[in-house]
């Protein structure tokens, strides 16, 4: 699948999410013109035929929070590529309180297939403390409207927001599962410099969970979603989000390969059930494509098996 990313910052966003500094996250606060959008899409035209599915993705703060006329202009720029058969559909990300029937009507007319909502938490107290400006019931209402209108629903969630315990984040996942989204993203909260959360952190009002705790939690969440048939398409901020550990992040469980840490943690439990031990040697055969996840970064799973069970040797081999 080819996703053509177009960042649409929510300039003048009236909300005050404590973790957000859109300029830093985007690395680019310039609002793209329709010509910019066209140029970006054109730069992918040659490689489009090599992909089974091609989507233009308007992501950023809240696509449907910008004026309707601007939304329409962007969508009108993208639509000819759908008409020409070069692009299959459009995806957008937005806030739960920026969805209504009129907006969905507009999105539907211009080939939008996937709508991702920044749910973040399903706990109203956590949402309030994070300055999100919407409630759990806004997410439920918007999710139902989106699904009933025939769009593919995606929900973005955050762990470790102010006031959220691991149990709160697990309850959020359970409520998200009840909404039956097609896809989910899990973003552990990180403290980005110059945000309100950064001030809270400096004043000692916010203490981020450790990387280990967050990996442990996200492994549980990921297993829950997968068991419910919901695909987790992203875990953790990645380098494409223009975040670097030495740069913009003041604190928090950031790791450039966070998703792999979580997959390895899940695979550790799997190893316990698929491995066998003979003469103190632990052996497990795993799918070739997943070998590095099973071994873990810096052989973490091998080391953990040795430490926890005293095995002389641990062999993780391609099946
Ligand atoms: S995260 Fe919050 S503050 Fe930042 S752009 Fe989105 S709605 Fe606005």
Domain count, the chain: 2
Tell me: do 175 and 239 sit in the same domain: yes
State which residues form the domain around 180: 2-255
Tell me: do 224 and 279 sit in the same domain: no
Task: Say if 93 falls within a structural domain.
Answer: yes
Going residue by residue through the chain, which has 319 residues, state the pLDDT in tens, using 9 for 90 and above.
Answer: 999 999 888 766 888 899 987 655 544 567 899 999 999 999 999 999 999 999 999 987 689 999 999 999 999 999 999 999 999 999 999 999 999 999 999 999 999 999 999 999 999 999 999 999 999 999 999 999 999 999 999 999 999 999 999 999 999 999 999 999 999 999 999 999 989 999 999 999 999 999 999 999 999 999 999 999 999 999 998 655 545 445 789 999 999 999 999 999 999 999 999 999 999 999 999 999 999 999 999 999 999 999 999 999 999 999 9
Residue 120 CB less than 6 A away from ligand 1: no
Sheet with 281-286, side-by-side order of all strands: 276-278, 281-286, 313-318
Burial of 207 per CB tally in 10 Å (0-12, 13-18, 19+): exposed
Q: What whole-number distance in Å separates Cα of residue 131 and Cα of residue 121?
A: 12
Tell me: do 113 and 171 sit in the same domain: yes
Tell me: do 24 and 112 sit in the same domain: yes
The domain boundary, picked from 255, 278, 308, lies at 255
Phi, psi of 81 (to 5 degrees): -70, -30
Please name which of 180, 160, 178, 177 lies closest in space to residue 169, comparing C-alpha atoms.
Answer: 160
Half-sphere exposure of 142 (CA within 13 A, CB side): 25
Return the structure tokens found at 250: 């003041």
* Helical segments of the chain, H only: 22-26, 34-42, 68-83, 101-109, 124-129, 136-148, 166-178, 196-202, 211-227, 258-274, 291-295, 300-309
Tell me: do 154 and 236 sit in the same domain: yes
Return the structure tokens found at 309: 């069970």
Overall residue count recorded for the chain in this entry: 319
Distance 43 CA to ligand 1 centre (A): 29
Tell me: do 207 and 291 sit in the same domain: no
Residue 62 CB less than 6 A away from ligand 1: yes
Return the structure tokens found at 190: 């990180």
Q: How far is CA 116 from the centre of its chain?
A: 10
Out of 9, 61, 118, 131, mutate this one to test ligand 1's pocket (max ligand atoms within 8 Å of CB): namely 61
Q: What whole-number distance in Å separates Cα of residue 244 and Cα of residue 13?
A: 25
Q: Return the CATH number at 146.
A: 3.20.20.70
pTM for this model (two decimals): 0.93
Rg (CA), the chain: 21
The domain boundary, picked from 234, 255, 276, lies at 255
Q: What whole-number distance in Å separates Cα of residue 29 and Cα of residue 302?
A: 44
Task: Say if 260 falls within a structural domain.
Answer: no
Tell me: do 286 and 147 sit in the same domain: no
Tell me: do 195 and 270 sit in the same domain: no
Out of 8, 11, 15, 161, mutate this one to test ligand 1's pocket (max ligand atoms within 8 Å of CB): namely 15
Distance 119 CA to ligand 1 centre (A): 12
């Amino acid at each position: 699948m080819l996703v053509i990313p177009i960042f649409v910052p929510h300039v003048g966003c009236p909300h005050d999410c404590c973790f957000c500094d859109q300029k830093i996250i985007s690395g680019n606060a310039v609002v793209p013109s329709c010509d910019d959008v066209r140029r970006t899409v054109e730069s992918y035209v040659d490689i489009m035929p090599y992909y089974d599915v091609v989507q233009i993705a308007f992501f950023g703060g809240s696509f449907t929070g910008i004026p309707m006329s601007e939304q329409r202009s962007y969508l009108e720029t993208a639509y000819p590529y759908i008409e020409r058969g070069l692009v299959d559909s459009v995806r957008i990300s937005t806030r739960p309180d920026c969805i209504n029937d009129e907006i969905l009507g507009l999105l539907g007319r211009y080939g939008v297939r996937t709508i991702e909502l920044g749910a973040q938490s399903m706990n109203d107290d956590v949402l309030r403390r994070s300055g999100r400006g919407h409630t759990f019931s806004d997410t439920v209402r918007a999710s139902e409207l989106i699904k009933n209108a025939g769009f593919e629903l995606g929900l973005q969630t955050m762990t470790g927001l102010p006031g959220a315990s691991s149990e709160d984040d697990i309850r959020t996942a359970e409520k998200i599962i009840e909404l039956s989204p097609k896809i989910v993203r899990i973003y552990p909260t990180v403290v980005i410099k110059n945000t309100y959360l950064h001030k809270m952190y400096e004043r000692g009002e916010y203490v981020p969970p450790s990387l280990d705790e967050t990996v442990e939690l996200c492994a549980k969440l990921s297993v829950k979603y997968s068991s419910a048939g919901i695909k987790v398409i992203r875990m953790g901020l990645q380098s494409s989000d223009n975040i670097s550990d030495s740069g913009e992040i003041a604190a928090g469980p950031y790791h450039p390969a966070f998703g792999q840490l979580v997959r390895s943690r899940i695979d550790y439990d799997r190893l316990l059930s698929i491995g066998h031990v003979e003469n103190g040697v632990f052996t497990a055969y795993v799918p070739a494509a997943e070998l590095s996840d099973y071994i873990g970064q810096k052989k973490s799973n091998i080391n953990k098996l040795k430490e926890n069970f005293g095995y002389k040797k641990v062999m993780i081999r391609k099946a």
